A and B are shown apart, each in its own frame.
Chain A
Amino acid sequence: MSATLLLARRNLGRNRVRLLASVGGVALALTLTLALDAIYAGVANQLTTYIDRAGADVWVSQAGVRNLHMVASWLPGSVTDAVRAVPGVAGVTPILYSTDTIAARDERAVAYVIGLPADAAIGGPWSVVKGADRVGRGEIIIDRGFARRAGVSIGDSVIVLGAEARIVGLSDGTASLLNSVAFVSFDDFRAMRGGAPVVSYVLVKVAPGASPEAVAAAIERQVPSVTAQSKTDFSAQERRLVMDMSADVISIMNVIGFVVGLAVVAITVYVATLARRREYGVLKALGARNSALYRVVLGQAVLSVALGFVVALAFTGLLVLVLPLAGVGLELSISAASLAKVGLFALVIAGLAAILPVRQVSSLDPAVVFRRGVAI
């Protein structure tokens, strides 16, 4: 370690209050950015749960529809047979889908409501913890978290799609921060929609050895007015939805986190320099160049930011571990890109924070060393 870095480290370490303030401030600011990224990445993960777990290799939707969340996709019922006829398709399951409110007692929550045919091979709940995993007319399978919050269980009824349905099963892993997934009978759903012969998505299982991408392309070629995507593509589109729609909010929060971090580090580094003005004067009198003193100041900024970064990382990591246990339906996920971004933030903050005291240091008169007293 160089002499300047040693002094920087010592200057920081010997003043606990200031160290705590600057490291804490940076940590707060970086946590803000890191946690926010992690929240959105986590939401994106959660949002694709149904797509990932439904069991389809290819999703067929109304032309132009590349997402699931909150959107509408309505295809003529005849599309199911048309898709079945495409080479490479091993099986098809049509589903109806709408974002709806389910209400039980005083509890109300947004849910993806899936209308599931009685003979559905795929598309149904993947982990039923209690009751049936199939739904008949007038029946529903709901997320067990919602059931617990509402205080209802198997045999109770809920309001869904404007009608009542009796709970026959409770499923697990079907809830996210934004919504849960509920399964009702295909026929009930269609009746609620006035009985029109439509489907929302056609879920496709491809033949062994067939590539989902190739089958999706073949479906788009042979069936008019549909969009077909492999599960992987569909899932990626859904992630992008979260990222694109939250991009502006994230930018603003990032700017705020950056400003806060910069303000804290700049002020603590500046104040720290101010407090040791006399000592910097001594070093100057002893022959230290301005550049060496800048390095001390910069070293302090970099060290406090680096410490703050580590604390922020540890704290966010802790949130990642602890939040799923808290049962708020929120999960966090730290991405490498977000780490890199926040790391870059930290670097820029340290660099900018060290600029403020530059004039302080360079205009320092080494002759102060002979002047007595504290107030210089």
Chain B
Amino acid sequence: MLLARRNLFRDRTRFLLTVAGVAVSIGLILLLAGYRSGVYRQASAYLDNTPGEVVVAERGIRDFLGTSSALPAGAEEAVRQTPGVERVIPVISQFVIFERHGRKDGFFLVGYDPARGGGPWKLAAGREPAADHELVIDRTAADQHGIAIGDAISVLDRTMTVVGLSDDTTFWAGSIAFARISTLESLLRAPGLRSFLLVTPAAGVTPMALRDRLAHPATEVLLKSEVVANDRKLLARVYDAPIGLMVAIAFLVGVLVVGLVIYTATIERRREYGAIKAIGARNRALYRVVTIQAFIAAAIGAIAGVGLAYGGGAAMMAWRPQFRVDIEPAAIGVVLAASLLMALVAALIPARLVAHLEPAEVFRG
């Protein structure tokens, strides 16, 4: 529609403003969605990168992150003896609060046996812990706290030396750190303690079959994917409400901006719209003019918004590398659809004005 396009493009500043409004809104929605999937991906980083298809935990515990699991004595031996088990990685995990420069930070401390696996999957520098007072920490966390390899840090009542820095171990509430399993046993004053067993089935045994075979009333046996899903549910409890709220606000803002600008543009040209009506145009034709304006603005704004989201995500990750923004192609599709919806809702704002416009408007002074 020529009229719609002309009305929209005639005032460049206003047009840019509309596009900017939609772009901010769409960019924000995408960024938030990307942040959410980033949080989820980070949450499963340890399990994703550690071998094993089946997880054995304390009875009643079905997640990896939320609680301190303690397996009954002898559980590891029993699992290892089970036919169809190829490999067992025992780990102790404990959330530890680490304080430096007066700021508290969370460490998800994983105790593992270097001979059996379960340690850092991507060492950026240094080596794995070879003695009980040695520790590998996340590189981003180290950068933020000004810690280098060779530095001593205190963990509970121990002084430990950082011997390695790992990558891909930043985490929503801190980061993952690695020590030997014996370190954790003595740190927690629990010789023989095991939190989880990560079990790999032998060739020809499906994880499902292995899970059923390992089932035991004193423990919880789950597929790794189930544990990951439970961890996500845990996060969702904390994250989904605020993120959902913000997505809604961002959407409303987009509607508001597009609607308002087109509304004002319509007011300013009410005389012209009145003239079109006087010539005999139906309300439908005028709705079409405002709706098309809204669509053009929303479409261009949405494209700019996708760019903004990628830029904003990159900026956020540069500022705080522990935040991960994963913008998924599927989310882009949803958001583009949202922008079209935005345009439709926004067009309703000036629609009433158009409908109530009197053709006689033209003759008024």
Contact = CB atoms under 8 A, between A and B. Distances in A.
**Direct A/B contact, Cβ within 8 angstroms:** yes
Interface stretch (A17-25, A81-89, A136-144, A205-213): A17-25
B189 A75 contact: yes
Given A100-B67, A264-B257, A32 B245 contact: yes
Interface string A257-275: 0011001100110110011
A103 interface: yes
Interface in B265-298: 267-272
Interface in A231-280: 240-241, 244-245, 248, 252-253, 256, 259-260, 263-264, 267-268, 270-271, 274-275
Contacts of B97: 65-67, 71, 241
A225 interface: yes
B263 interface: yes
B104 A198 contact: no
A286 to B, nearest CB: 20
B155 interface: yes
A99 interface: yes
Contacts, number: 179
Contacts of B157: 62-64, 225
Contact of B271 (A62, A63, A260, A374): A374
A193 B73 CA distance: 9
A101 B104 CA distance: 25
A64 B242 CA distance: 33
B346 to A, nearest CB: 11
B249 A263 contact: no
B360 interface: no
B173 A248 contact: no
A102 B272 CA distance: 69
B94 interface: yes
Query: In this complex, which of B14, B68, B96, B263 has the most chain A Cβ atoms within 10 angstroms of its Cβ?
Result: B68
A271 B260 contact: yes
Interface in A327-362: none
Contact of A267 (B71, B99, B246, B261): B261
Interface stretch (B53-61, B83-91, B198-206, B328-336): B53-61
B62 A108 contact: yes
A10 B259 CA distance: 22
Nearest to A373: B271
B253 interface: yes
Nearest to A264: B253
A196 interface: yes
B128 interface: no
Interface string B54-81: 0000111111001110111100000000
A72 B68 contact: yes
Contacts of A375: 268-269, 271-272
30 contacts: A17-B349, A24-B256, A28-B253, A62-B156, A64-B157, A64-B158, A72-B156, A74-B187, A74-B188, A99-B66, A100-B58, A100-B68, A101-B60, A101-B61, A108-B60, A110-B234, A162-B58, A178-B238, A193-B190, A194-B73, A245-B174, A252-B316, A260-B253, A263-B21, A264-B256, A270-B17, A274-B264, A274-B268, A374-B269, A375-B271
Interface of A: 17-18, 21, 24-25, 28-29, 32, 36, 39, 62-67, 70-76, 98-103, 108, 110, 159-163, 178, 192-194, 196, 198, 225, 240-241, 244-245, 248, 252-253, 256, 259-260, 263-264, 267-268, 270-271, 274-275, 373-375
